[in-house]
Chain A
Amino acid sequence: MHDGLVILDGGVEGFPSTEGCIRVLRDLLAEWRGPVEFVTLREKKIAFCTGCFGCWIKTPGMCVLRDDSEAITRAASAAEWMLLLTPVVCGGYSSVLKRQLDRMIGINLPFFMQKEGETHHVPRFARYPSWMVVGLQAERDEEESAIFEELVQRNALNVHAPKTMVRVFGGGDRGEAVRDGLQEMLRKGGVMS
């Protein structure tokens, strides 16, 4: 059964901190009765993907490397929603978040299909989590934000996310604006009423 929310905290040193958003999310979700799991990725042991394709042709569906990534992948794949929280790095994700995402390609099959006029991988499972993605910028930057949103949409297409929401908070967004934005996102996702 697909249930609950898994939050992947991709905070990394030297870039806008995710700690404030995590505090707000914990507060907003305190009353929620569904399962929620917070994963601080920088504290986990997650090796770089080696590109061996073992997750397709040796241990189909799971990475051959055995570390913390396995449990995270399993939990995220079983959730109804996955929330990715990351500083925006040149329009992309943090390396910490990317390590985990790279290790999850086994959730698709190696085979191909056409989707929106392009080649993509065939889904492995009958259901996938929907995506909420929150990006943090030191200062509001529309060009970088547009690249980030494009990346999220492309990823969501590849991982067959039924629904996708993406929100970028810039340096000028503080306190209540961030709280309101996150609350709106959770409400739209049906996680909060």
Chain B
Amino acid sequence: MDRLASAGWLCDELNLPKVLREGREPDALDRLVASADLVVLSFPLYVDTAPAAVTAWMERVIRNRRRASGGGRPISFLMIVNSGFPEARHNETVLAIGRRFARDAGWEWLGGVAVPGGGALNGRAILPHGMTRNLCLALNEVADAVREGRMIPESAKVRLARPVVPRRLYLLIATMGWYRRAWHNGVGRLLRRAVLPGVQ
């Protein structure tokens, strides 16, 4: 978004679950989307696909299009998926869903990119140096393609699919993190509990 904004694009950012949870005027969201030249949908992978709030929004867009019997201004669509698993291929199904959504919404599919091993980022800034350098370069490539109305280049997808941290180290750190947080919450001994009320 920063790269697009620096090129003169007007960018708005919305948190879909927040908008839907707070019950904010859905028509306002529809108008914002309808007035856009580009929609970038970014979300964490949930149960191998998009979170329910994202799916709810997709349903809304498709219903609106059907009611309008097609038409509307041309909108380009880009999807960015961030997943906790270290392998990018976990995201392949949801990227196919994204491509399909663009078609059903009557939008132009610019492509989708997957960022695996998202736990290593954990909200840190993506900078052109250090462990996020590769990510930064790839996202710049994506932004430049978007600015020029091109499909997302394969080179950017390949670069983004590379884990920020080696897989084994990533999994080790993640595992230690779960234990640390559980003990901090006083449930360290329950972390692995396999018996819940009503379920054996």
Query: Which residues does chain B contribute within 8 Å of A39, judged by CB atoms?
Result: none
How many residue pairs, one in A and one in B, have C-beta atoms under 8 Å apart?
152
Q: B residues 125-175 with Cβ under 8 Å of A?
A: 167, 171, 174-175
A2 to B198, CA, bound (A): 10
Query: Which residues does chain A contribute within 8 Å of B101, judged by CB atoms?
Result: 90
A48 to B18, CA, bound (A): 10
Least distance between A142 CB and chain B CB atoms (Å)? 12
Are A155's CB and B48's CB within 8 A? yes
Are B63's CB and A57's CB within 8 A? no
Could you say which of B52, B85, B181, B185 contacts A49, with CB atoms under 8 Å apart?
Answer: B52
Query: Which residues does chain B contribute within 8 Å of A170, judged by CB atoms?
Result: none
Is there a chain A Cβ closer than 8 Å to B10's Cβ?
A: no
Are B59's CB and A102's CB within 8 A? no
A95 to B55, CA, bound (A): 5
Could you say which of A13, A102, A110 contacts B52, with CB atoms under 8 Å apart?
Answer: A102
Interface stretch, picked from B1-9, B28-36, B68-76, B89-97, is: B89-97
Could you say which of B51, B100, B185, B194 contacts A91, with CB atoms under 8 Å apart?
Answer: B100
| Interface residue ranges, B against A (CB under 8 Å) | 17, 20-21, 44, 46-53, 55-56, 58-59, 62-63, 66, 85-87, 89-90, 93-94, 96-98, 100-101, 104, 167, 171, 174-175, 178, 181-182, 185, 187, 190-194, 196-200
* Top 8 A-B pairs, shortest CB-CB distance: A95-B56, A98-B52, A95-B55, A99-B52, A14-B63, A90-B101, A90-B100, A110-B178
